[in-house]
Amino acid sequence: MELTKGLREINQYATVAFVLYGLTFAMSHKTSKMKQTNNYPKYESCIKACLRCADACNHCASSCTQEKDIKMMARCIQLDMECATICYASAQLMSLGSEIAKAVCQICADICWQCNEECSKHQTDHCQECARACKVCAEECQKMAA
């Protein structure tokens, strides 16, 4: 019971943090478009894949907290939260045209592959959806980082 309560509290704080981070991203994305940086069109498919992946990971983590055997889902939840965090960071750095975007995208690809592998082990719809989004994101980030 305490683990479930603790995970729900973590999920609530993570959700608030992701919302705030998303607002920051939206503001920087708007600024980035206004500046007409040359990198945005080049990174657009990777940015979109990262944002879709972060959304799927957040949904998966939240849904995993509702599963009957939450202890079995602990690794999945942890990787979902890590993956969503790095996906948001990667998208924001690409949007800003950051010099470190490629390096962060390589790390993002690595974490997405780990999350894909873990989520693929579970037969729930949310885990399977997350695994697919992580695979697409990992592939996009690897192309971007190359």
In angstroms, how far apart are the furthest CA atoms of the chain? 51
What 3-state DSSP class applies to 146? coil
The pLDDT of residue 42: 83
Q: Of 137, 138, 117, 132, which Cα lies nearest the Cα of 75?
A: 117
Residue type, 138: A
Task: Please spell the DSSP secondary structure of 41-109, one letter per residue.
Answer: HHHHHHHHHHHHHHHHHHHHHHHHTTSS-GGGGHHHHHHHHHHHHHHHHHHHHHHHT-TTHHHHHHHHH
The three-state (H, E, C) secondary structure of 4-31, written as one string? HHHHHHHHHHHHHHHHHHHHHHHHHHHH
**Per-residue pLDDT at 41:** 79
Contact 10, 74 (CB under 8 A): no
Q: What is the pLDDT along the chain (146 residues), one digit of tens a residue?
A: 455 555 555 555 455 445 445 545 554 554 444 444 566 778 999 999 999 999 999 999 999 999 999 999 999 999 999 999 999 999 999 999 999 999 999 999 999 999 999 999 999 999 999 999 999 999 999 999 99
pLDDT for 9 equals: 53
Place of tokens 């082990």: 121
Domain chopping of the chain, boundaries: 2-18+38-145
Q: Which CATH number fits domain 2-18+38-145: 1.10.3720.10, 1.20.1270.360, 1.20.1260.10, 3.50.50.60?
A: 1.20.1270.360
What pLDDT is recorded for position 81? 97
Q: Confirm if 93 and 101 have CB atoms less than 8 A apart.
A: yes
Q: How far apart are CA 42 and CA 101, in angstroms?
A: 12
